[in-house]
Chain A
């Protein structure tokens, strides 16, 4: 809550404002001695009050001008980082587009080649089957080799949670 108040009120003021506060404090502090020197009964007390107020303003102004300077610095760092992230996101999107396009193209090429291969098998079917009869044992061995060792999807269990 306090942070929010600081961020949304004090830090929104420009840096020069705090320099002005510190300057005002310094002037008040300087002139308080003159006020105290005035030969009136209340002048001493008034001068002392002005001195304290001036001192408080000087300290507060210096402290908050430093804070405002640091805030400006951080704002510029944040802006710089946001720009870098935006540039990286743009690059990353470009990489994704290139990869997506290339994957689609290459898979299409594989599929097209498969169509040609299947057509060639159909075309040469009679020649291929003419002198060869495949034994069921051979098919069984081939199918066993093709069967997945682990059925289903790969899981890492609870580790990923």
Chain B
């Protein structure tokens, strides 16, 4: 009993070494980048007007460009934040 208590003592003393008082947290991404890209718009199947088709297609182009911006900035954000995160040593 005495022996096991003696063995237990260094373990109890060493538990203090397990807790680190400093914690680094990876930052949160801006909320604008967390919005998922919507589906592409579809043309009304009953229309025969080219102007309506062009309208929907150009809206989809715009949608693609918005998503392209978001993806580009996601990459940029991650690259910068990773660099900053790894710089703390």
Contact = CB atoms under 8 A, between A and B. Distances in A.
Q: On chain A, which size bracket covers the interface?
A: 35 or more
B54 A128 contact: yes
A88 B87 contact: yes
Contacts, number: 128
Given A93-B27, A139-B45, A114 B58 contact: yes
A129 B84 contact: no
A40 B73 CA distance: 89
A99 B48 contact: no
A146 B22 contact: no
Nearest to B17: A3
B35 to A, nearest CB: 10
B77 A99 contact: yes
Q: On chain B, which size bracket covers the interface?
A: 35 or more
Main secondary structure of the interface of A (DSSP, over half): helix
Contacts of A122: 51
Given A103-B32, A121-B54, A153-B36, A96 B27 contact: yes
Nearest to A4: B16
Contact of A106 (B30, B69, B80): B69
